[in-house]
Amino acid sequence: MSPNSSSERFPSDRGAQTDTYRSRDGMKSGRLREETVLAVGCGSPDGQTNNGLAAARAFLAEGARVCIADREPAALDAAERVLLEEAPEAADRLLTRVADVADESQLAAAAHACAEAFGVLTVLHYNVGIVVNGGVEELDIAGFRRALDINLTGAFAAMKHAVPHMREAGRGSIITVSSAGGLRWMGYDYPAYAASKAGLIELTNAVGMRYAREGIRANSIAPGLIETPLIHTSIVGHHESREAMLAARHAASPTGRMGTPEDVAQAAVFLASPESAYVNATTVPVDGGLIHSSFAAH
Ligand SMILES: NC(=O)c1ccc[n+]([C@@H]2O[C@H](COP(=O)([O-])OP(=O)(O)OC[C@H]3O[C@@H](n4cnc5c(N)ncnc54)[C@H](O)[C@@H]3O)[C@@H](O)[C@H]2O)c1
């Protein structure tokens, strides 16, 4: 077996599993039973498992009430269909809402709808991220601004409209999905993406510090080399072929395999849960050790 193969050698090769240890009511331990999550950018184009769908699935499996917001109605429908096929008993804990993060009023409406439907909003999961490729000579200013608008300003707007609900609840956890690319050069020429993700980390830290005394925490996750559908559209162009991309990304990981969306989702569950009550204003890498190594993705 190739050291770069993602097939199993021992259990940890599979990545985190979300659907094990469920009890009869469809929950795992129920550690998010008290939480209501606004999960932004958690639709799923074609119903495939991306970071957003994996997070929504894991939040529901732990007993949370979840409002999924996404720009794409079709991606929302697909996510809802998959989630309810897997866990029909979660139907009364799942809400979907179309919201484009470029439009503040749509985010405000999504936060309001979530709090109104479930009575409270205690967790914001900001998963939206677009890859904007191109170096300083190729990318125009509009492209750079677009990366900042969607990846960073959208997060600010989502926080702006989630925090008042958290203050009302007397507690909250804000989780932003940044990237290893916001911390390190990854071998890809996408400075707009890198800058937006770096900014997202410090935005998150600043909000976590500001609200620490009010019981609201804010932390980011920095995934690195995750095997999601996104890489087949937005990253593949950096490589000669799809196969070359997959091989390079598996090889670049210190573990010999890319991570899975479930690996990222389990970090989000931890940050949403009371178990992380003393974790604030920091970044949790989910990258197999990548950012600690000296190797780039290719
Ligand atoms: N895949 C990786 O290797 C990797 C690595 C590091 C970080 N990430 C981050 O993980 C997150 C999710 O990545 P993914 O691979 O699952 O991507 P994805 O494209 O499958 O998911 C992103 C979701 O955000 C939605 N979205 C995009 N623009 C939006 C907007 N304006 N308003 C509302 N929703 C919008 C999309 O419809 C989609 O459902 C992103 O923030 C990405 O930067 C991914």
| Mutational pocket test of ligand 1: of 98, 101, 127, the residue with most ligand atoms within 8 Å of the beta carbon | 127
pLDDT digits (tens, 9 = 90+) for 155-206: 999 999 999 999 999 999 999 999 999 999 999 999 999 999 999 999 999 9
Q: Is-contact 183 198, C-beta < 8 A? A: yes
- Closest by Cα among 229, 294, 215 to 258: 229
Stretch 37-51: mean pLDDT:
95
Q: Give the residue, by CA position, lying nearest to ligand 1 atom 41.
A: 129
Q: Give the residue, by CA position, lying nearest to ligand 1 atom 32.
A: 100
Q: Which amino acid is at 23?
A: S
Does residue 127 belong to any structural domain of this protein? Answer: yes
Does residue 197 belong to any structural domain of this protein? Answer: yes
List all residues whose CB is within 6 A of at least one atom of ligand 1: 41, 43, 50-52, 70-72, 75, 100-102, 127-130, 150, 177, 179, 223-226, 228-231
pLDDT digits (tens, 9 = 90+) for 205-229: 999 999 999 999 999 999 999 999 9
pLDDT of residue 125: 98
Does residue 5 belong to any structural domain of this protein? Answer: no
pLDDT digits (tens, 9 = 90+) for 248-285: 999 999 999 999 999 999 999 999 999 999 999 999 99
pLDDT digits (tens, 9 = 90+) for 85-124: 999 999 999 999 999 999 999 999 999 999 999 999 999 9
Ligand 1 atom at shortest distance from the alpha carbon of 225 = 3
pLDDT of residue 151: 98
Number of structural domains in the chain: 1
Coil vs helix vs strand at 138: coil
Quote the radius of gyration of the chain (alpha carbons, Å): 18
pLDDT of residue 19: 53
Stretch 70-91: mean pLDDT:
97
Answer yes or no: is pLDDT of 53 > 70: yes
Q: CA-CA distance, 128 to 177, in Å (whole number)?
A: 7
Does residue 26 belong to any structural domain of this protein? Answer: no
At residue 259, φ and ψ (nearest 5 deg) are: -80, 170
- Closest by Cα among 170, 186, 171 to 222: 186
Does residue 238 belong to any structural domain of this protein? Answer: no
pLDDT of residue 250: 95
CATH code at position 283: 3.40.50.720
Cite the active site residues: 193
Does residue 102 belong to any structural domain of this protein? Answer: yes
Does residue 8 belong to any structural domain of this protein? Answer: no
Q: Give the residue, by CA position, lying nearest to ligand 1 atom 13.
A: 51
Instruction: Output the CA 62–ligand 1 centroid distance in Å.
Output: 22
**Host domain of residue 269:** 31-225+262-289
281: left (phi over 0), alpha (psi -120 to 50) or beta: left
Does residue 232 belong to any structural domain of this protein? Answer: no
Residue with the bigger pLDDT between 35 and 294: it is 35
pLDDT grade for 18, boundaries at 50, 70 and 90: low
Residue 224 DSSP one-character state:
-
Q: CA-CA distance, 140 to 147, in Å (whole number)?
A: 11
pLDDT digits (tens, 9 = 90+) for 132-161: 999 999 999 999 999 999 999 999 999 999
